[in-house]
Amino acid sequence: MYYVTKPYNTDILNLIKTTWERLYVSLVEGIVYKKFNYPEFHHTDGVGRKGEYHWKASSFECAVIDSLAMNLNDLAMAGAMPYALIDHLMIPSDDNNAIISLIKSLT
């Protein structure tokens, strides 16, 4: 379960701040603004059963690459321009170090 008092929250926010100003998006006071006028596509795909194996092997960077590749492939086939990532993690246990490793793999 997620609580705002978790010890990794400050670390996660600091990692996210490094991605705030990008070519296609800008963040102003916590609100994401896109810098283009293309239609928006919302898409979610995960690593599926492989996530359990990534968790056991602590191969978080591979899990992130796998998940991003599947999502980006689907968006490219739709002709969409990706500009944001839905930040949803489903993990088997509350492991601060694993969570920070996952977030670092995204940035």
Q: Is the pTM of this model over 0.85?
A: no
Q: For all residues of the chain together, what is the average pLDDT?
A: 76
Alpha carbons 90 and 101: distance in angstroms, whole number:
14
pLDDT at 87: 62
What is the per-residue pLDDT across 76-107, written as a single tens digit (0 to 9) for each? Answer: 888 877 766 666 677 777 788 888 888 787 77
pLDDT at residue number 56: 87
pLDDT tens figures, 43-83: 777 788 888 888 888 888 888 888 888 888 888 888 877 76
Q: Where are the domains of the chain?
A: 9-15+39-106
